[in-house]
Amino acid sequence: MFCENCGCENPNDAAFCQNCGSRLNFGDPPEQAPVNGQMGADDPFGAPSYGMPDDGPYGAGDGSGFDDGFDSGGNRGYDGGFTGENGMSYDPIHVQRVERSKKTKPKEKRKLTKKAKAGIIAGCVLVVAVLAFVVAGRMVTSPERIVRQYMDALIQSDWDRAYSYVNVTESAFINKDNYIKMCESSGNYSQINNFEVTEMPAVYANDSSGYSSSLTKTFQISYTTSEGSGLQTMEVSLIRQSGNTWLFFPSWKVSITTLTDYTLYIPAGATATLDGVALGDDYKNSSNSDEYYDCYKISTLFQGSHELHMEADYCDPVDVQLDVQTSGSSYTADNLSYSQETINSLVENASQMIQAVYGAALQSQDYSTVQNYFSSDAQIQTSMRRRFESIQDDFIREDGSGVMSITCSNVTGWESYSQSQQIEIEMDYDFTSEYTHYTGYGSSRKLETETESGSDSLYVTYTLENGEWKISDTSIDAPYYFY
């Protein structure tokens, strides 16, 4: 049972409210019909109007001035209630209840449905989830956190993880393998034992040093190493990416400043690979190439150590370790070595050339019999023809004296100089010459034959012409002998 005064719930058999002490209603009495069938004009809701009777000055007839609803014998009136001035009668207890119910009508308690409760819980969960998402997103995408994780990866030599933080456009030379090679060649990160990260102020955003702005962040790393060389510093810059992380948070990557362009000059006709990548026409710069060297330009390359491998016909393969540190630097491969097999072949060819020239000169043959040893260049051919004819003139003289035969032996040769597509061979050889000359004067003058043995030396320069080695210059001459 609920109290009509305060709304407190009480036991069904309670007479008074346990909260406010008001008498509890055990059931409404039957409604009293108004006298003469009318409601009080001054109270449309039936509130009692205590009228004054006509039998005395105060209307009670007993000197009280009120009609209290009791007769002179102490008995209730016609219905045990009050009679209002308009003739309506009221039960005082009923009146009290009605008035109390008007003033303190209890509020009804509405119980939430399961669906409503579920909706409230779901809403709370959603709010908590959104807050957690925002906090986690800001934490995960924090530029400082990215720098710290990048440094941790470098210190732990976790190159795969470190590479995942860098901002690079991959190419034949810019890739994870070469990045790892660059990190390993530095050899400094593993010695770092402590570091601090400080963001450079945004006020310098327009400076060429690239301090923090809306699109870039630059952090100074202060660190110490196990070598105990004192506090050292380095800078790590971040670049904001075009997309976002988790749709809403800025995405940042570490900017690699150790990138450079590089130029290579490779002997013409040779093939070369840099870090295992073949240098083909895509990298060749024709405007800077010439007959001796092919020029190759690498637009983007990690600083550090790189491996150059070169191969060329007639040469031994060459591997060169390049240390690239300065942007715009270059390397000229002048250390290609011709194979010993090639040198031996040219020495043999030069030996044959000497025998052929001497033999043709002794037999008064034409230059055309030996011209294939020499370059097809017109000027070279003219020069070699004159040399051949000079030897021929020394061997056979007008007075009938001269060389009758010559034999070369113990021919040796070696490379004295070389460059792209050109080799100079120096040669030593022994010879035995049979020749004639006149002795005496007048009638005693006569032609005698002698044999002379000796040694001589010469050089022979070979040039690669249409895939063949041809002699472009030589110091061959008639060997010295006595007359």
What span, in angstroms and rounded, lies between the C-alpha atoms of 466 and 473?
Answer: 17
Burial degree of 238 (CB within 10 A; 0-12, 13-18, 19+): buried
- Residue corresponding to tokens 């290609």: 336
What span, in angstroms and rounded, lies between the C-alpha atoms of 217 and 236?
Answer: 8
DSSP 380: H
Predicted local confidence at residue 8, as pLDDT = 84
User: What value does the mean pLDDT of the chain take?
Assistant: 80
Predicted local confidence at residue 92, as pLDDT = 54
What span, in angstroms and rounded, lies between the C-alpha atoms of 397 and 437?
Answer: 10
Predicted local confidence at residue 212, as pLDDT = 56
Predicted local confidence at residue 59, as pLDDT = 45
CA-nearest of 262, 104, 241 to 178 is 262
User: If residue 211 lies in a helix (H) or strand (E), which one and from where to where?
Assistant: none
What span, in angstroms and rounded, lies between the C-alpha atoms of 395 and 319?
Answer: 50
What are the start-end ranges of the H helices in 339-449? 340-362, 378-395
What span, in angstroms and rounded, lies between the C-alpha atoms of 357 and 391?
Answer: 8
Q: Flag residues of the chain having pLDDT under 50.
A: 33, 35-70, 72-80, 82, 85, 90, 204-210, 482-483
User: If residue 5 lies in a helix (H) or strand (E), which one and from where to where?
Assistant: none
Predicted local confidence at residue 266, as pLDDT = 93
Angle between helices 378-395 and 340-362 (to 10 degrees): 50
Q: What is the pTM of this model?
A: 0.57
Predicted local confidence at residue 402, as pLDDT = 84
Burial degree of 361 (CB within 10 A; 0-12, 13-18, 19+): buried
Give strand ranges (E) for 190-328. 192-199, 216-225, 232-245, 249-255, 259-267, 271-274, 277-278, 293-302, 304-311, 318-324
CA-nearest of 437, 480, 424 to 455 is 480
Predicted local confidence at residue 247, as pLDDT = 65
Predicted local confidence at residue 227, as pLDDT = 80
Residue type, 286: S
Predicted local confidence at residue 97, as pLDDT = 54
Nearest 5°: CA angle at 193, between 187 and 196? 105
| Exposure on the CB side of residue 97, measured as CA atoms within 13 A | 15
